[in-house]
Structure 1
Amino acid sequence: MAASSSENDSKNEGPSSREAEQPQVAAIRMPTAEEIRAQEVWNNCAVRSVVSGVMGGGLGFFMGLFLGALDNPIMQDEMTARQQLIYNAKQMGRRSWSSAKAFAIMGLVFSAVECVVEKARAKHDTTNTVIAGCVTGGTISARGGPRAACAGCAGFAAFSVAIEKFFDRHT
């Protein structure tokens, strides 16, 4: 009797197992009006650039705090603990401000150029990253003269492509 009940169970599982093998079709969800508006705002190059500049500034600020804390005064042996603390606080503040400005400019320029190039070319690919990296690197190192600007362009473009390939955004 046990054998006949297992045969009935296997016969009953036949159609249900076929249904499980067929792929389930998911319904397409249309975006809401709020989602469409948010996407339109984010597609604005000015918004994207300002957000990247602010985020870059924040990253630079925290990197400056960290790197400023690592600086040791030259006359450390002759300074009291209070003098060392004051020196380190000032150094952290200087480094934070300097790094925040540099990273904010870097983020703003890179994001703005990439967005404008992407809209002009109507493509989302690595070429946009190369152009944005070159302009950003050249802009940052322009004070050093034409050779420095060219080296900054090539270096930042190569770095941008390496990061792009690492994160693999354009596949």
Structure 2
Amino acid sequence: MSMLPNPADQAAEAAKARMYGSEDLDRLAMQFVGKMQRYRENIVIPRTMGPVKIKTNEEKLLESAVESCGFKCAMACVMGYGLGAALGLFSASVNPNMADPFANTKKQTAREVFREMRATTHSYAKNFALIGAVFSVVECAIESKRGVTDWRNGTYAGGITGGLIGLRAGIKAGVIGGLGFAAFSTAIDFYMHSR
């Protein structure tokens, strides 16, 4: 006589088969989740235009150095010097204070012309370097204080820089210089960000 299995025993056996111990759960977690250690360089964050790799520590260090106030000031100073030198050279080359060829005055030599061009070029370069350095330092300080990067930083920095430069000629010139430089900075900001 064969004995049929009891339905209660079958249910108990099925429940035992589905029970997992903590070791089994740990093994499943390791299978599906993986190790608890992850390497940041291997994580890829999806974006609409394709995958983006997370920056390494060296890239972050270089980026923070380039975005520092000291680097910005140095770059503005160097670029201002170069731009001022170019404008000074152009200004000196079209300067009409050459000797009159029909007058009986002493004619300028090439050495005197080049010396005058060098002095004019150097003067323009120093002034532009100073303006660039002051503007970048003031803008960086304002940006750090406000904690926001927008067009107002350039406008405020332009106003302060123009005012400081204009103050050498008086209060009225300082106010006009501040307003003019602020308007110019705002216009350049809008032009550069609209492209």
TM-score scaled by structure 2? 0.68
Distance in 2 separating the partners of 1:74 and 1:95: 14
Say yes or no: does 1:56 pair with 2:85.
no
Which of the residues 111, 124, 131 maps onto 2:156? 131
Unpaired segments ≥5 residues, structure 2: 1-46
Distance in 2 separating the partners of 1:157 and 1:72: 32
> Which has the larger Rg?
2
Structure 2 equivalent of residue 93 of structure 1: 118
Distance in 2 separating the partners of 1:69 and 1:90: 12
* Cα deviation, residue 84, structure 1: 4.5
Distance in 2 separating the partners of 1:163 and 1:122: 21
Of 86-95 and 60-69, more deviation after overlay is shown by: 86-95
Distance in 1 separating the partners of 2:128 and 2:48: 47
1:130 aligned partner, one-letter code: T
2:63 aligned partner, one-letter code: Q
Say yes or no: does 1:148 pair with 2:173.
yes
Instruction: Tell me if structure 2 keeps the 8 A contact 1:64–1:97.
Output: yes
Which of the residues 19, 27, 41 maps onto 2:51? 27
State, as a whole percentage, how many aligned pairs show the same letter: 34
2:86 aligned partner, one-letter code: F
Which has the larger share of helix?
1
TM-score scaled by structure 1? 0.77
Structure 1 equivalent of residue 37 of structure 2: none
Structure 1 equivalent of residue 182 of structure 2: 157
Instruction: Tell me if structure 2 keeps the 8 A contact 1:72–1:88.
Output: no
| Alignment deviations for residues 128-151 of structure 1 (CA, whole Å, 9 cap, x no partner) | 111100111011111111000000
Unpaired segments ≥5 residues, structure 1: 1-22
2:185 aligned partner, one-letter code: S
1:47 aligned partner, one-letter code: F
Alignment size in residue pairs: 146
| Alignment deviations for residues 110-135 of structure 1 (CA, whole Å, 9 cap, x no partner) | 11111111111010111111110011
Say yes or no: does 1:114 pair with 2:139.
yes
Aligned residues: CA RMSD: 2.1
Distance in 2 separating the partners of 1:164 and 1:25: 27
Higher relative contact order (CA 8 A, sep 6+): 1
Moved over 3 A (4+): none
| Alignment deviations for residues 139-168 of structure 1 (CA, whole Å, 9 cap, x no partner) | 111111100000000000000001111111
Distance in 2 separating the partners of 1:84 and 1:168: 48
Distance in 1 separating the partners of 2:145 and 2:59: 25
Structure 2 equivalent of residue 18 of structure 1: none
1:117 aligned partner, one-letter code: I
Distance in 1 separating the partners of 2:114 and 2:178: 34
